[in-house]
Amino acid sequence: MGEFSKVERTGPGGRILEVTLSRPEVHNALHAAANEELGRVFDEFEADPELWVAIVTGAGDKAFCAGNDLKVTAAGGKLAFSKGGFGGLTARYDCVKPIVAAVNGVAMGGGFEIVLACDIVVASERAVFALPEPRVGLAALAGGIHRLPRQIGTKHAMGMLITGRRVAADEGARLGFVNEVVPHAELMSAARRWAEQILECAPLSVRASKQAAYAGLDAPSLREAVEGRYDQMAAMMKSEDWVEGPRAFAEKRKPSWKGR
């Protein structure tokens, strides 16, 4: 457990890392020290071969993360991110392990940018999303300006980016940045269900799929995306799991993934 976060290994084989942003007294808003701590948490997640999936959520029932701690900034505190970006995640472009956001309440500004940096988003029916930075003379500089149009299309994104308006969980699902909306009490069980479904798949296949999907979005054409070279694909094809999957299917049994 850190000063500004709680970390726990859960799930089958302890393969899931649950990370809870823990500054509930300020709606889990983050300052420089919290960002640095979370950067270390996700560095360790990436480096640990026994961890295959992460879930990130917020402490309490009101907020996932209210974004940057503006009171600290206004008092002269520096606005600093770790090398992984806001919350240790928004600049973690090369992370090939999947990350699930379990959004338990307000996700504003940098908090919403953390959500957008995750691969799967499960939202409580109480969740609310916004990039309100223009309302306080700022802009969503931790990736929100660029991730949101890529995820929901330009017009829908501009409708949020240049108004700062709030979007409820159900609308987030309709727009396409939320995968599932659940009753508040079922949030973590739903997020764990998604994580455990990922664990049913070969971890190197999951990582190869994630890497290729995101990298392919930056390719000039579909053909170049399909024909691109991805190191996680190469690792998958050389792995024990590449043999184990078809063998388990042929033998009508559950595969035993090694992640190597």
Going from the N-terminus, what domains does the chain have, and what CATH number goes with each? 5-199 (3.90.226.10), 203-250 (1.10.12)
Average pLDDT of the chain is 95
Which member of 133, 180, 186, 244 is catalytic?
A: 133
Which member of 18, 36, 37, 113 is catalytic?
A: 113
Q: pLDDT-based confidence at 74, cuts 50/70/90? A: low
Q: pLDDT-based confidence at 172, cuts 50/70/90? A: very high
Instruction: Please give the pLDDT value at position 79.
Output: 63
Under DSSP, the state recorded for 143 is T
Instruction: Please give the pLDDT value at position 100.
Output: 98
**133 catalytic, yes or no?**
yes
The arithmetic mean of pLDDT across residues 162-168, rounded, is 97
- Cβ(143)–Cβ(113) under 8 Å? yes
The arithmetic mean of pLDDT across residues 89-112, rounded, is 97
Phi, psi torsion values for 103, nearest 5 degrees: -90, 105
Q: pLDDT-based confidence at 248, cuts 50/70/90? A: very high
**113 catalytic, yes or no?**
yes
The arithmetic mean of pLDDT across residues 131-140, rounded, is 93
Instruction: Please give the pLDDT value at position 82.
Output: 72
